[in-house]
Amino acid sequence: MKLTILFGGASFEHEISIVSAITVKEKLSSFDLSFIFCDADHTFYLIDSSKMKATTFSKGEYKKMPQLSLSNGAFTQKSMFSTVEHKNTVLNLIHGADGEDGSIAALLKFFSIDFIGPRVDASVFSYDKRYTKYLCEARNIKSVAYEVLSAGEHKEINTPYPIIVKPSCLGSSIGVSIVKNESELDYALDTAFEYDNSLLVEPFIEGVKEYNLAGCMVNGEIIFSIVEEPQKEEFLDFEKKYMDFSRSEQVLGADISEELEAKLKAAFTKVYSNLFEGAIIRCDFFVVNNEVLLNEINPIPGSMANYLFADFTSLVKDLVSSLPKTSRVKVSYDYIHSISSAKGK
């Protein structure tokens, strides 16, 4: 089965997308894989499989490889005398901006290229944590209480300390701080506002139980991963998460009751159906007083959360065969014709 891994992007998570792509390459070695890299200038390059190592990108060697442009149904490689079309299904593995904000989803949809990954609407509801809260409210999914701060706004924070401060639109813990008291607040806000004009403030719940659950819809049914209890210190900072993106060894399921597992799956289903169709997502939950709270949706998790699935290869194969199809609207000129003929033209 053919599959194209699309990675890179003009994103703070550009490097971890490269790490993810290298990891997924190993995990999906039974596929006929090709690799398309989106650089920081939004130019696409076809990367030879043998060059899929970090230094190809950090040293700029990719710039010598063939450039691709988007056209109807394909990434196209044009040279003086020939045009080669790359029409495979794409696995969108661009973390953060571009990949998760709906841009790549819209491009691939617009040019009728099938892809694994969140669609435009799903991207908006997961990329911006404010809109994840909107989704929770509308779908009756419990989540942590929050306040929104906007740049340049002078607003009292009502959440009691300790609090956690997050840029609205970044993943991988970038710009996130735990603030234990007011003396630490200004620094945390400055840090977070460097990344975004909008922040979320939430209570920091000490010693909270965390569980991650991944899954995707295949032929109308959600296939779940095991439930993982992630190892953690206070929270994973960028460097630790970075290493996390190269994970490929399957982990053991968390030792939890059937009741809790059912609750986690029910919450996942409320988030997923049918907004995230076409994507393998990971939901990160908190459990507080036996209540499941959604913390975050990762619509393109690091290395596609492969380590949570017993048979990741089969999962991806099944998903490729059941991707949502978008039929393009047929255009008619009935009204213009009728008006023109009424005018006698």
Binding site for a copy of itself (CB under 8 A): 10-12, 14-16, 18, 39-43, 54-55, 57-58, 69-72, 97-98, 101-107, 109-112, 120-121, 123-125, 128, 131, 133-135, 137-138, 239, 242, 328-337, 339-340, 345
Q: How far is the CB of 127 from a copy of itself (least distance, A)?
A: 8
Q: Which is nearer to a copy of itself, 252 or 329 (CB)?
A: 329
Q: How far is the CB of 337 from a copy of itself (least distance, A)?
A: 6
Burial (Cβ within 10 Å: 0-12, 13-18, ≥19) of residue 211: buried
Q: How far is the CB of 266 from a copy of itself (least distance, A)?
A: 19
Encode the chain in three state secondary structure.
CEEEEEEECCCCCHHHHHHHHHHHHHHCCCCEEEEEEECCCCCEEEECHHHCCHHHHHCCHHHHCCEEEEECCEEEEECCCCEEEECCCEEECCCCCCCCCCHHHHHHHHCCCCEECCCHHHHHHHHCHHHHHHHHHHHCCCECCCEEEECCCCCCCCCCCCEEEEECCCCCCCCCEEECCHHHHHHHHHHHHCCCCEEEEEECCCCCEEEEEEEEEECCEEEEEEEECCCCCCCCCHHHHHHHCCCCCCCCCCCCCHHHHHHHHHHHHHHHCCCCCCCCEEEEEEEECCEEEEEEEECCCHHHHHHHCCCHHHHHHHHHHCCCCCCCCCCCCHHHHHHHHHCCC
Pairwise CA distance, residues 117 & 89, whole Å? 11
Q: How far is the CB of 74 from a copy of itself (least distance, A)?
A: 12
Q: How far is the CB of 110 from a copy of itself (least distance, A)?
A: 5
In this structure, the number of other CB atoms found within 10 A of the CB of residue 146 comes to: 18
Name the phi and psi angles at 145, rounded to 5.
Answer: -60, 155
Q: Which is nearer to a copy of itself, 118 or 179 (CB)?
A: 118
Q: How far is the CB of 220 from a copy of itself (least distance, A)?
A: 10
End-to-end CA distance of the chain: 54
Q: How far is the CB of 19 from a copy of itself (least distance, A)?
A: 8
Q: How far is the CB of 138 from a copy of itself (least distance, A)?
A: 4
Q: Which is nearer to a copy of itself, 47 or 315 (CB)?
A: 47
CB-based contact 100:299 (threshold 8 Å): yes
Pairwise CA distance, residues 10 & 8, whole Å? 7
Q: Which is nearer to a copy of itself, 217 or 254 (CB)?
A: 217
Q: Which is nearer to a copy of itself, 106 or 262 (CB)?
A: 106
Q: How far is the CB of 207 from a copy of itself (least distance, A)?
A: 30
